[in-house]
Structure 1
Amino acid sequence: MKTQAVALEPHAVNAQSYALQELTFPQVLARWAQRSPHKVFLTETASGRSFTYGELNAWTDRVAHALAGFGVSRGSHVGLLMGNSAEHLAAFLAISKIGAVSVPVNTAARGELLRYYLAQSDCETVIVDAALAARLQEVLGELPLLRRVLVLRTGEEGESGIEPGAGMAVADFHALVDAAPAAAFVPPVQPRFCDLVLIAYTSGTTGPSKGSMLSQAAALTYGTSAAEAQGYRASDIFYVCLPLFHNNALLAATGAALVCGASVVMSRRFSVSRFWGEIRESQATITNFLGAMSSFLWSQPPSPADTDHCLRLVSMAPTPKYAAEFEQRFGLRAMNNYGLSDYGMVTSFTQWDPRDKLGSIGRPRRGVQIAIVDDDDLELAPGEVGEMVLRFDDPWRGTMGYYKMPEATLNSRRNLWFHTGDRGMQDADGYLYFVDRKKDCIRRRGENISAFEVEQIICTHPDVADAAVFPVATPANDEEVAAVIVAKPGASLDELQLVEHCQRNMAYFMVPRYVQFRASLPTTMSQKVEKFKLRQELEAGLSQAWDREAAGVVLAR
């Protein structure tokens, strides 16, 4: 079980210059605020606002003062129900300065799913965009630990609808920050590299979504290990259009730029029509694709302007079959970074790796051990397919386990290896290839969806007796959510009613696209649903199922 280091580009930032104990967000931000105070770190494409390292450090000190004055203390949990904005990043950094814990929440969450995230993570405070406040209002009565709500207004919204009540303080984010001291923030206890800084929710497999606990060092290792493996430079500009509530945008992109002393250009969301314009205007050099993003761009008509940009590296996960042609058409290099929010980023396929290996997830990053094992955790020979298991050489680099789920934590780390639930293969040259997932999870447009969670919510409908949810493949190198439903005897439930129920209680991207009603579900002798049979049957002819998109149903986001 060997570790292979990826070569470091001569002009890249030496991420090894950080000692493990120096990996806290306050220390890293202060380092660059001192070295490059006038260098622009963050620019918003929507507003045009920009912040230098010095300005961001001073602003986050002020936000930390405001949050501390509002009652946020070391170790307390703060939910962030926010879209991409400078305020979102400032809140995260300020929370890290206090020594508190951020809980980023998917902005598509609503109803039971939103309640679960905030309740399971024990959030005492929530910072919410005014545009999303109505969703929070719907579940406030089911969050007994919640004591404080900060509402971020952009000036375009009306009243948030959230009023102070017994035991509940409500304040305006900007008003609170503007009234806070402008002095440097000095917490009673300085945050340490091993302190919990983030709870990131990852899709459940055989149970509800799990909150992965990241220390300050683990969160920043996303950036330091990527910078070392991929040769990121201080002169790089990272274009971030994925949501900050995901580790990819927050840690693998923004965090990587931070540890390098580089810059970030932040868009509110991915848009095919705006993508190349924002890339050109920002002079971005690096960006990350997830899911079908590459397919959407590839499917656009070729243009003489396809190479008119500064992008040099694009991470593609998964790497499409046409990656080599994509490189040639757009004049850039494709890379790949594999990891899980359950544990961390662990491999890299780099710009220097042989292009005949394109499609591989690369080789282990320095300080990471990876093995391919059978069901008994015995290592397999090169070329054999098995589960990928991981571990870091250093403590605190990987996640600390699942919040309030000790059994799941222990099971995932049996025999001192983290078990990914992903099956892979390693070739004779040490390159790893993702094959498929063992776990019951759906990957749709960059979002990990728990089939279990969708099934549980569907089964709360009074007319549903049973449900099986699973992925079906699409031509766009992505997956869609399919559901086979068994209705209760005598029920008159139809597809539209089912979708309406789903929309009220889950994120829009979780709502099944394909729905089929059956009298029963195929099961094994032990009564386990044979989803593979359902998937095979539907993929053989999707016209068998009702198609939400073909029916013209538009989901509210």
Structure 2
Amino acid sequence: MSDSRLDIRELTIGNILRRQAEHYGSKIFLTELNTGRTFTYSEINTQVNRISNGIRDLGVTHGTHVALLMLNSAENLSCFFALGKLGAVSVPINTAARGASLRYFLDQSDSEFVIVDAELLPRLVEVLDGAPKIRHVIIASAGELNSNAIEPSGHRQVAYLDRIITTSRKEDPNAQVVCSDLLLLSYTSGTTGPSKGCMVSHAAALSYGTGYIEVHGYRDTDVFYVCLPLFHNNALLAATGSALLVGGSIALAQRFSVSRFWDDVCRSGATITNFLGSISSFMWNQPALPTDRDNSLRLVSMAPTPKFAGAFEQRFGLSVMNNYGLSDFGMATAFTENSPREKLGSIGKARRGIQVRIVDDQDFEVSNGTTGEIALRAEEPWRAATGYYKMPEATAKATRNLWFHTGDRGYRDDDGYFYFVDRKKDSIRRRGENISSFEVEQTIIAHDAVTEAAAFPVKMESSDEEVGAAIVLKPGHSVSEREIIEHCQKNMAYFMVPRFIQFRLELPMTQNGKVEKYKLQEDAETFIASFWDREKAGIQLTR
């Protein structure tokens, strides 16, 4: 039941859930770490069936768009699976969204139903008058304080998920669903513009799991520690999808916590977990302990892979892997535990069934070692996302010349290993030189006093750009701007050294761990006097 090479036409949520419930029935599929609740494969499938039948009775049919405004929970996953069984379309919404941004997600996605945790219900109520397409609200985990916060009306009905689960039929809904049917709209982070809804079919969603299983050798004995939010494809598809397809188990946390991380891992016996963004640095910067290797993890995915990844492996007794992909496309490359460790930092080789090219601005392939844009193409139909919902111009631009253009810059070495350099829009253009924000950040983070750094362009009156850097120091450490400049001069080309520096207590982040650099740019260009200026300090760089 854990065969990663299933025929793509078999890849539907309903089909996989039925198969795994039959094969692994009494095995624990999911453990909620905050509540201690457990669900076997059979129990989760039964709960999914009850939700499917209950929401179908309310009017959810094949193709209905349903927003999920939910925290990490068994009910969140069950609702996602239940919608998949019906052929309905899930719209997972960032739980930090509120006001105009929440209204945008509901309206742009054409959602007709919303399933919302009671804790988040007040945010939904704030925007419902401006969301006329919503005709049904289903409240999950309804508490006394919030259960009456919204009243039914002639236009909009209210239901409760716990009642649906306890009263609906447990038989399989037996809806007709095929692998090419749209399963979810996965919204991009929107750090550089309006969030785009990536259209992901059943086959594309489940290909995350089949791909991970194949390249990383996941086993049905693996326990996946999931602490990232389920509205993100990493947690929902890469981790949960892999566990479901391989017959493994999930240890689900409500959120990532530095202080709880190792306790959760050891308590659950987790063997695999995924880091995104700054999580690697958060864990690395914790004080070293003699017991650091006393844990059950065998594989940790780090995206991006930091320079200290090799030392991280040795300190914690595990293997670091890397998986490159985008919500806009799917997973494309993999660096595995069997890849050469001297290439640690690479995003690995192309996965089976995926073509990867490095192209120039005219879409022509460049030679090995030359940096260009990473372009992707799937060799099978429905294996990748199928464009942006209601954004045909953005879809056409991204998929020109029959290749998906990632907007990421990278290069390929002579052994076929790919390396990420930076976001095409995240590079800094200074006096004719293209500067990788990623490389600047990695150099700054290598300083013993630094825990986080973000490099970004600061537009000047001359229309040129200068390098800005926002830096977070480790607790109890201090360092001057001059010392940062000296460190940078020793470790990067002179033209990459930041001109503007600001020490901050924290960086503005999305819930997915991505730095909201546009906020840093806005701060720098609006309040430039609050940034330390290398030129005003009279520091001359050595070329």
| 2:111 maps to 1:123 | yes
Secondary structure of 1:232 counterpart = coil
Query: Deviation of residue 184 (structure 1)?
Result: 2.6
Query: Deviation of residue 472 (structure 1)?
Result: 4.5
Amino acid in structure 2 at the alignment position of 1:34: E
| 2:199 maps to 1:213 | yes
Matches of 1:288 and 1:472, distance apart in 2: 27
Residue 499 of structure 1: aligned partner? none
Aligned pairs for 1:50-61 (under 5 A) are 50-61=38-49
Matches of 2:199 and 2:216, distance apart in 1: 26
Residue 180 of structure 1: aligned partner? 168
Aligned pairs for 1:22-421 (under 5 A) are 22-153=10-141, 155=143, 157-159=145-147, 161-187=149-175, 190-204=176-190, 207-421=193-407
Aligned pairs for 1:462-473 (under 5 A) are 472=469
Query: Deviation of residue 41 (structure 1)?
Result: 0.6
Amino acid in structure 1 at the alignment position of 2:248: A
Query: Deviation of residue 297 (structure 1)?
Result: 1.0
RMSD value, Cα: 3.0
Residue 5 of structure 1: aligned partner? none
Matches of 2:158 and 2:536, distance apart in 1: 50
Secondary structure of 1:128 counterpart = strand
Distance 1:541 1:134, change over 3 A: farther
Q: Quick check: 2:524–2:531 contact (8 Å CA) kept in 1?
A: no
Q: Deviations over 1:213-255 (max 9, x none)?
A: 0000000001101110111111100000000000000000000
Unaligned runs of 5+ in 2: 428-436, 442-453, 457-464, 475-507, 538-543
Query: Deviation of residue 538 (structure 1)?
Result: 5.5
Q: Quick check: 1:152–1:172 contact (8 Å CA) kept in 2?
A: yes
Amino acid in structure 1 at the alignment position of 2:18: A
Secondary structure of 1:316 counterpart = strand
Matches of 1:72 and 1:183, distance apart in 2: 17
Q: Quick check: 1:284–1:310 contact (8 Å CA) kept in 2?
A: yes
Query: Deviation of residue 475 (structure 1)?
Result: 5.8
Q: TM-score, normalised by structure 2?
A: 0.81
Q: Deviations over 1:155-204 (max 9, x none)?
A: 474435121122100111101221212223222xx111000000000134
Q: Quick check: 1:77–1:124 contact (8 Å CA) kept in 2?
A: yes
Secondary structure of 2:52 counterpart = helix
Query: Deviation of residue 87 (structure 1)?
Result: 0.2
Q: Quick check: 1:247–1:341 contact (8 Å CA) kept in 2?
A: yes
State the identity %.
Answer: 52
Distance 1:473 1:26, change over 3 A: farther
Query: Deviation of residue 411 (structure 1)?
Result: 0.8
Matches of 2:532 and 2:13, distance apart in 1: 46
Matches of 1:514 and 1:439, distance apart in 2: 13
Query: Deviation of residue 144 (structure 1)?
Result: 1.3
Q: Quick check: 1:321–1:359 contact (8 Å CA) kept in 2?
A: yes
Secondary structure of 1:48 counterpart = coil
Query: Deviation of residue 110 (structure 1)?
Result: 0.7
Matches of 2:191 and 2:96, distance apart in 1: 20
Of residues 425, 436, 442, the one that matches 1:439 is: 425
Distance 1:539 1:106, change over 3 A: farther
Amino acid in structure 1 at the alignment position of 2:4: A
Residue 505 of structure 2: aligned partner? none
Distance 1:293 1:204, change over 3 A: closer
Q: Quick check: 1:292–1:476 contact (8 Å CA) kept in 2?
A: no
Matches of 1:266 and 1:232, distance apart in 2: 18
Matches of 1:354 and 1:543, distance apart in 2: 46
Matches of 1:84 and 1:49, distance apart in 2: 13
Of residues 15, 32, 46, the one that matches 2:4 is: 15
Matches of 1:211 and 1:62, distance apart in 2: 28
Q: Quick check: 1:234–1:261 contact (8 Å CA) kept in 2?
A: yes
Q: Quick check: 2:470–2:520 contact (8 Å CA) kept in 1?
A: no
Matches of 1:137 and 1:355, distance apart in 2: 52
Secondary structure of 1:234 counterpart = coil
Residue 412 of structure 2: aligned partner? 426
Amino acid in structure 1 at the alignment position of 2:42: G
Q: Deviations over 1:439-468 (max 9, x none)?
A: 369999xxxx9x9xxxxxxxxxxxxxxxx9
Matches of 2:411 and 2:326, distance apart in 1: 17
Amino acid in structure 2 at the alignment position of 1:196: L
Distance 1:417 1:59, change over 3 A: same
Q: Deviations over 1:253-272 (max 9, x none)?
A: 00011110111110000001
Matches of 2:535 and 2:240, distance apart in 1: 39
Matches of 1:130 and 1:215, distance apart in 2: 29
Secondary structure of 1:146 counterpart = coil
Matches of 1:34 and 1:476, distance apart in 2: 52
Q: Quick check: 1:338–1:348 contact (8 Å CA) kept in 2?
A: yes
Q: Deviations over 1:366-391 (max 9, x none)?
A: 01100000000000000000000000
**Equivalent residues, number:** 467
Secondary structure of 1:439 counterpart = helix
Matches of 1:207 and 1:403, distance apart in 2: 15
Q: Quick check: 1:83–1:107 contact (8 Å CA) kept in 2?
A: yes
Amino acid in structure 2 at the alignment position of 1:15: S
Q: Quick check: 1:131–1:157 contact (8 Å CA) kept in 2?
A: no
RCO greater where, 1 or 2, for CA within 8 Å and sep 6 or more?
1
Query: Deviation of residue 304 (structure 1)?
Result: 1.8
Q: Quick check: 2:25–2:42 contact (8 Å CA) kept in 1?
A: yes
